[in-house]
Amino acid sequence: MTDPAALSLREIAAALRAGALTAAALTEHAIERHERLGGPLGAYKHWDPEAARVTAEAANAAFAAGADLDPMQGIPVSVKDLFGVRGMPTQAGSPKRLPARFEAEGQVVGALRNQMAVFMGKTHTVEFAFDGVGINPHLGAPCNPWDAAHHRLAGGSSSGAGVSILEGSAYVALGSDSGGSVRMPAAITGTVGLKTTAGRWSLDGIVPFSPSLDSPGLLTRTVEDAALAFAAIDPVCDGVALGRALDAAEVASLQLGLAEAYFWDNCAPGVAEGVRGALAELERAGARIVDIEFPEAAAGQAEGMKGQVVEAEFLANMRAELPEWLETLNPFLVGRLASLESSELLPSADYLANLWAMRRLAVAADARLKTVDAFVCPTVVGTVPKEEDVRTPEAYIAANCLVHQNTYLFNILGLSAITMPIALDKAGMPVGLQIVGRANREERLLTIARACEKVLGTGLERLGTPPLCR
């Protein structure tokens, strides 16, 4: 069998339909990859190869009977352990299983289920998605496969998602993004991560964190793969039209906005250099990189750091839905919630003022992006830390703020965004280029990112294979 890692999702789908590849063989290859590499990497909280084999055989039978259920039929998928998946427990990164109602499947998982996608298991998440660096004192943290010498973190809160893609046990990984929780682990692991606009995809069947900002998303090997998976899940996307747009995408017609203030602060050695080098390649291919003002960024970050929406919604949801789980929250989260609990949450006027300020900034930011095709910046400015370096509250808070610097604000501003791998920093860790588009314009964003990928190459082409995945 041709190594599926050498094929795009579109090529795999075509091979499945032509009979050159079977869903069972593809699934066995994914299982073998995990069994060979997954032990030290620890991507999964719940690994279910037998259920995967059953679904793969059913997908084979459907193909044999002439039933084509759309592109994801027979494709191995991992699912962040915030999403309900029938027959699999949900813990949401907590010490114990959540009630059965949190195992019900929502629209995102249901769309894949209806296409006979093969669910390989549930990937690790930080506790209730409340962290960006990827630590979990209860269940342990996946290991970033780019560092063979240390247990370096893989980002959060979708901490196992990028690792599952790199080890080859999944070709699409479902995650959620409230402050960067798809884009951060994607950038940190050298994969592609798409954050959808909040409200575009249903939150049903997903353990809530901050419903005002929560948005489902996905991680893949390439932008082209992300576009196919997006079209398969999205309830309104015209997949055929998107495919044609991707094929025709060229950077020569693009105008990309760049802001020198804020987004380049605190960059680790090699991060700014890697992103600016990629932008220079795009310019040589005909893209126009233009300086724009983006005052909504700093203003949005300031509103977000107040915590009056995110932390208040999280605590209110926990009190209403999972009060017993508040008793087992890890100390880092307890510390972040202490001020809210001492004041009995917040006065409603403060909460609403913070929410309305975010919404006003979102309208202004969307209007500002009308002047360019997309906005570009580094995804994560720092090098992801080793697990041993974030064991104190002070170190954890500093690392968590740094990793969120360029991602959280785009949740606050209600925009769509994607990250793609473009370099390794001086520590040998992946660097992501973040491309930001207008709200609910994911098809256009994916087309722009695919045009860039045609020039820059895929993550495998630019970065190679991680040491722990060889």
Is 80 catalytic? The answer is: yes
**Sheet arrangement for strand 416-424:** 44-47, 118-123, 76-80, 172-177, 215-220, 192-195, 416-424, 430-437, 374-378, 255-258, 288-291
Q: Evaluate whether 445 touches 416 at the Cβ level (below 8 Å).
A: yes
Helix pair 348-368, 295-305: axis angle to 10 deg = 160
Residue for token pair 């403060």 = 350
Among residues 158, 169, 181, 210, the one annotated as catalytic is 181
Structure tokens given for 193: 């991560």
Q: 172-177 and 215-220 as β-strands: parallel, antiparallel, unpaired?
A: antiparallel
Report the DSSP beta bridge partners of residue 216: 176
Q: Evaluate whether 190 touches 466 at the Cβ level (below 8 Å).
A: yes
Q: Evaluate whether 417 touches 195 at the Cβ level (below 8 Å).
A: yes
Is 215 catalytic? The answer is: no
The alpha carbon torsion through 262, 264, 266, 271 (nearest 10 deg) reads 160
Give residue 205's region: left, alpha or beta (phi > 0; psi -120 to 50). left
Among residues 45, 78, 80, 210, the one annotated as catalytic is 80
Main-chain phi, psi angles of 72, to 5 degrees: -85, 5
- Taking the C-alpha atoms of residue 92 and residue 97, their distance in angstroms, rounded to an integer, is 8
Is 45 catalytic? The answer is: no
Among residues 78, 157, 169, 210, the one annotated as catalytic is 157
Residues listed for the chain:
470
421 CB-contact burial (10 Å; exposed 0-12 / middle 13-18 / buried 19+): buried
DSSP readout, 312-352?
HHHHHHHHHH-HHHHTT--HHHHHHHHHHHHTTS--HHHHH
> Which active-site residues does the annotation give?
80, 157, 181
